[in-house]
Amino acid sequence: MLSKNQIKFVNSLKQKKYREEHNLFIAEGNKIVSELLNSSIVVKQVYATSEFLRKTNIDAAIERFEITENELERISSLITANEVLAVCQMPTCILNIEAFKDKLTLVLDDIKDPGNLGTIIRIADWFGIDSIICSSNTADVYNPKVVQATMGSIARIKTHYLDLAVFFNSSKSLIQNPIYGALLEGENIYTSKLTSIGFIIIGNESKGISENIVPFITDKLYIPSFSNNKSGKSEVESLNAAIATSIICSEFRRR
């Protein structure tokens, strides 16, 4: 049985201010929760159907509540609730700029769409990129829509929210990583020399990379279009931010 207070508590975590107050977030569905239970993420509570509880091994330290599918619907953010909802602790990611020295890191400059952010986290996981720097205005990684779109990759990718200009100023003096940016002008990514370390900046869905961030870019890149009906209408023939990220990561990794 779900109490009114439990329903209120879980639903409050759909809002950023309560997630931050409690330092907790929610994840849903058989696949993602199973993944989180086997990850370094600390799961605090599991609300699940008897079927899920029967087939899943849950650590004794985790509070578990057997609920019906109807009760699950009352706390779910999904269109169709799926067996289980977990309340998890937000991991603490300590920022150590020197840790970025020898690797490839994505930097998101105001990615606003939760689906795009979740997909980008999944792409990072696929391409072995373990950290993402997000501008303060990027969507919240613990928004339930983002968590769902990561398909569990959220358990493996570290995210840091900060002011990008401040970050690049500090990183410039500490480490000298190349800073790549995808822009409308620059070098064709398919023929550019790309390294296996550095920062790759992905700009906002409609505005691209912020004006005050562009000067930090050391290597400007662009993804050429192969469309035959190009007639200068570049505003229409653009790529979604997550799609651009996947093409860029693919190019960096395949070499």
With CB under 8 A as the contact rule, the residue among 15, 162, 190, 218 that binds a second copy is: 190
Rounded distance, CA 200 to CA 178, Å?
9
Q: Is residue 202 at the binding interface for a second copy, with CB under 8 A as the rule?
A: no
Q: Is residue 225 at the binding interface for a second copy, with CB under 8 A as the rule?
A: yes
Residue closer to a second copy by CB (options 10, 244) is 244
Q: Is residue 50 at the binding interface for a second copy, with CB under 8 A as the rule?
A: no
Question: Which amino acid type is present at position 181?
Answer: G
Q: Is residue 73 at the binding interface for a second copy, with CB under 8 A as the rule?
A: no
Number of residues that bind a second copy (CB under 8 A): 37
Taking the complex as a whole, how short is the minimal distance between the CB of residue 32 and a second copy, in angstroms?
8
With CB under 8 A as the contact rule, the residue among 115, 175, 192, 214 that binds a second copy is: 115
Rounded distance, CA 197 to CA 100, Å?
8
Annotate each residue in 204-223 with x if it binds a second copy (CB under 8 A) or - if it does not, as one string: -------------------x
Q: Is residue 240 at the binding interface for a second copy, with CB under 8 A as the rule?
A: yes
Contacts of 199 (CB under 8 A, 6+ apart): 100, 105, 106, 107, 133, 168, 171, 177, 178, 179, 180
Q: Is residue 17 at the binding interface for a second copy, with CB under 8 A as the rule?
A: no
Q: Is residue 151 at the binding interface for a second copy, with CB under 8 A as the rule?
A: yes
Taking the complex as a whole, how short is the minimal distance between the CB of residue 130 and a second copy, in angstroms?
7
Q: Is residue 18 at the binding interface for a second copy, with CB under 8 A as the rule?
A: no
CB 84 within 8 A of CB 37: no
Question: Which amino acid type is present at position 37?
Answer: L
With CB under 8 A as the contact rule, the residue among 23, 130, 162, 195 that binds a second copy is: 130
Residue closer to a second copy by CB (options 6, 246) is 246
Residue closer to a second copy by CB (options 173, 191) is 191
Taking the complex as a whole, how short is the minimal distance between the CB of residue 170 and a second copy, in angstroms?
26
User: Would you tell me which residues interact with a second copy (CB under 8 A)?
Assistant: 31, 35, 115, 119, 122-123, 125-128, 130, 151-153, 156, 190, 223, 225-229, 233, 235-240, 242-243, 246-247, 250-251, 253-254
